[in-house]
Amino acid sequence: MLRVQFRPRLIPSICTLILAPILAALGMWQLDRAKEKADIQTKHQSRFTAAPIDLAVDVTLPQDIEFYPIRVTGRWDESRQFYLDNQILGGRAGYHVITPLLLRGAETGVLVNRGWILASPDRSEVPSVETSDDETTVTGIAVIPPSEVFQLEEQAPIQGKWETVWQALDLVRFDDAAPYSIANFVIQMDKEHPSGFERQWNQPTDKWILRHKAYAFQWYALCAALLVIYCVFTFRPSPESDSES
């Protein structure tokens, strides 16, 4: 009769004890990421079709403003317009044009992303776009820029001359340099406004949710494979069963 005996070896056991929890934790992390993406998608879909909120001095905004439609009337502040670098569209490098809009009758502004423009092959050439001085009404979706963005070099505070090319959309950096306060969100301009550029805004989709779930399955599969291999090489025929045969 075949008998098996649990005969662990030191190094494989240590490696399994270390790697198995790590692989399982990575799977759980990917599932958490999938849930986060699902929550974002649900929030976006529920707010995207709501009536626009008129942004004015006396309006009380929702505490969580992200993805709400916004309508605002004011004048562009071209002197503090800047271009957000490293924006890829259709495989082409370019910039997002970010222009502050000063609210009518207030010393308060909001940054508006007016869309994408193509970068020059000569990266030393700074882009330039004309902006009207007339009062305008802008509608779009409120988005919260990520607080942390990978940068090769951290952006220094602006001192003196205004910087026209930025590596990251930093609201705190803008607020510290501008003579007026700004809203804690950015408006992605809708596609109908004539003063915008190419606008293909990213929308939450099931693709990212499914991708995180696929990654989770891979990590769990690796964890299961590791445990199976460990068991195969750890539970071995006992010496008694060999002698009986």
Task: Give the chain's residues under pLDDT 50.
Answer: none
**Do 176 and 66 share a structural domain?**
yes
**Do 222 and 180 share a structural domain?**
no
**Do 93 and 37 share a structural domain?**
no
pLDDT at 116: 94
Which pair of tokens denotes residue 18?
């270390």
Residues 6+ positions from 53 with CB-CB distance below 8 Å: 59, 61, 62, 68, 69, 70, 71
> Which residues constitute the domain of residue 220?
4-41+207-244
- Structural contact between residues 136 and 195, judged by C-beta atoms closer than 8 angstroms: yes
In a domain, 132, yes or no: yes
Looking at the structure of the chain, the number of domains it has is: 2
- Structural contact between residues 147 and 231, judged by C-beta atoms closer than 8 angstroms: no
In a domain, 153, yes or no: no
pLDDT per residue as tens digits for the range 55-109 = 775 555 656 778 888 899 999 999 999 999 989 998 999 999 999 999 887 778 8
**Do 25 and 61 share a structural domain?**
no
**Do 123 and 189 share a structural domain?**
yes
pLDDT at 231: 86
CA distance 207 to 11: 40
**Do 121 and 92 share a structural domain?**
yes
In a domain, 47, yes or no: no
In a domain, 155, yes or no: no
Place of tokens 């000569």: 122
- Helix, strand or coil, per DSSP, at residue 23: helix
In a domain, 154, yes or no: no
- Helix, strand or coil, per DSSP, at residue 168: coil
pLDDT at 63: 64
pTM listed for this prediction: 0.69
CA distance 209 to 85: 28
3-state helix, strand, coil in the chain (%, to 5): 35, 30, 40
Burial class from Cβ neighbours inside 10 Å (0-12, 13-18, 19+) for residue 111 reads: buried
**Do 237 and 195 share a structural domain?**
no
